[in-house]
A and B are shown apart, each in its own frame.
Chain A
């Protein structure tokens, strides 16, 4: 029994480590910065972490399967822009606009997945191209907008506090629960880990690799869409380009959360910790009066440091 427990710890050391860092970081910052740990600020931190957390959910699935999704920024933006442009500030239209935009988000994911899994186009190329195509089409269709204002229902849904936390955070928790169940307790999750670990063996085991991979891209597209709506609700409007920081952020959250960028290893729960860590760090920026540029520097360093360390670990084990 003790051996089993030890094995579990060793397998999940990345994820556990991420939570340890998150807790330590939060405690350290709160000790030095008054107000950082206040209820209102925690709610704010959790909500902003939720945006990263939701896009990183999709990115986690894609990376676990051995790919990358660079189309998150403009899938997010497309859903957000189209929703505000079509709803014109009214809630009633959401009834048909929501299925439409989520269908679009899923379609983008599907196209990505098919390009990668069936046409063997490198995920970086395919999703980067889709991002740019999405950007062009959104700008074509919707700049010079009729309205960028968020429908009130969405704003409400994201910001209203229910049982101490904004609904947006509850949405994130719900998605995290679903993701955890998918990854740890379903056949799909097991297949995903297999596909991300070793293509050949998965094929011999009869797993439909293409379907599994395509599913991850669809999940990522839908998550980007959800995040887009949440962001729109939070800010109160949509704007062109506000999805861009989420590319670096999503990869950073996944990396910091202990997942291997090569695929096959890691868990969404780790990404959650990664999103929290990044949000704590970036939450320091306004407090320390640091400019926005530091945001990107933090994301980049987070990726380099965590993946670098993970790789050094890997080589010591292999030697």
Chain B
């Protein structure tokens, strides 16, 4: 490919330092919320509590990582809800007594998530359909299939899987270490070609294409990774709930986008902060604890997460405007 002489880019000006400063919003919000709970429950700041909170937050963290990757590429994945539903119902009906059979199924489910995501990406790219429309449709289809497999929450999860999910090593839940694993994944992901291609695509798709990024595999890769993380989320959920549910995933769709947005990731693509997204997931989880601790009715936590999402996006817009005029 001959390099373009001039790229007619609307982002001609080098990004000002303003856009590189990590946005402190999720960390400040988290600090405030944790402080609020600690006033009523001094034991909140302890390792035991850290384990508990991480357990609460980990499912959202998993699905948020995937969502962040897709949003980074300039898209959106609503079907994570469906993938989670399907994963939990299949786990609850297929894991059986555990052992090797279960391990095979765990791998199968992860592959299934990957494959579903790949299909999403292929349809978005090949049929030039809007991500929202495609993933809305696949969300619907997957939820329908989940309902067929397991009409009401239930099923059975083998004890071995449950105890694996609740293991601690040296006092720390294995999922706290899971966080470390995610961090390692992200660092390597952002350095590798796929990660860079995804970011380039989300930033300016024409420029990325002209610069040699192969768009179709990149899009497919982004959605496939998202599906993979959604499946992982479903698997994690089964260790906590002990069963499967054809509707449990639906409550994760908005929060995954909200956590990503609160974390400072631009919803139009091109810039993502994993640390921010994880902090965002913690924020949404701790809100639940705040609501519970202060005796506020449970429903306020979803209201607040909706409000936070709007605020985060709005602030993001403001930043965008500011640094265009700055």
Contacts and interface: CB of A to CB of B under 8 A. Distances in A.
Contacts of B313: 121-122, 125-126
Contact of B129 (A126, A135, A311): A311
B80 to A, nearest CB: 13
Interface in B262-299: 267, 297, 299
A140 interface: yes
Interface stretch (A25-33, A99-107, A296-304): A296-304
Interface string B122-146: 0100011110111011111111111
Contacts of B209: none
A196 to B, nearest CB: 14
Interface centre among B142, B301, B310, by most A CB within 10 Å?
Answer: B310
A124 interface: yes
B216 to A, nearest CB: 15
Nearest to B301: A136
A140 B302 CA distance: 11
Interface centre among A136, A261, A307, by most B CB within 10 Å?
Answer: A136
A136 B255 CA distance: 14
A272 to B, nearest CB: 20
A303 B133 contact: yes
A281 to B, nearest CB: 13
A211 B130 CA distance: 25
B76 interface: yes
Interface size for chain B: under 10, 10 to 19, 20 to 34, or 35 or more residues?
Answer: 35 or more
A96 interface: no
Given A251-B133, A308-B127, A126 B310 contact: yes
Interface SS of chain B: helix, strand, loop or mixed? Answer: helix
Contact of A136 (B133, B147, B303, B309): B303
Contact of B133 (A135, A261, A295, A297): A261
A293 B317 contact: no
A130 interface: yes
A125 B301 CA distance: 18
Given A291-B148, A293-B151, A308-B129, A300 B303 contact: no
Interface SS of chain A: helix, strand, loop or mixed? Answer: helix
Interface in A261-280: 261-262
B201 interface: no
A297 B140 contact: yes
B306 A136 contact: yes
Interface residues of A, number: 45
Interface string B51-85: 00000000000000000000000001000000000
B189 interface: no
A128 interface: yes
Nearest to A125: B313
Contact of A296 (B128, B140, B253, B305): B140
Interface in B83-134: 123, 127-130, 132-134
Given A128-B257, A132-B254, A297 B141 contact: yes
Contacts of B254: 128-129, 132
Contacts of B297: 140
B127 A312 contact: yes
Contact of A125 (B137, B261, B304): B261
A265 to B, nearest CB: 14
Contact of B145 (A248, A262, A293): A293
Contact of B305 (A132, A297, A312): A132
Contacts of B306: 128-133, 136
B229 to A, nearest CB: 20
Given A119-B314, A261-B130, A125 B309 contact: yes
B172 interface: no
A115 interface: yes
A315 B125 CA distance: 13
Contacts of A251: 133, 136
Contacts of B314: 119, 121
B133 A307 contact: yes
A307 B127 CA distance: 9
19 contacts: A119-B317, A121-B313, A121-B317, A125-B257, A125-B261, A125-B310, A126-B310, A128-B253, A128-B306, A136-B302, A137-B299, A248-B136, A248-B140, A251-B136, A293-B151, A295-B144, A297-B145, A300-B137, A300-B138
Pairs of residues from A and B, 6 with the lowest C-beta to C-beta distance, nearest first: A293-B147, A300-B140, A296-B144, A136-B303, A297-B144, A300-B141
Given A301-B137, A303-B137, A311-B128, 18 more contacts: A68-B132, A119-B314, A125-B257, A125-B261, A125-B267, A125-B309, A128-B253, A129-B309, A129-B310, A131-B306, A132-B305, A136-B302, A291-B147, A296-B144, A299-B140, A303-B140, A307-B133, A308-B129
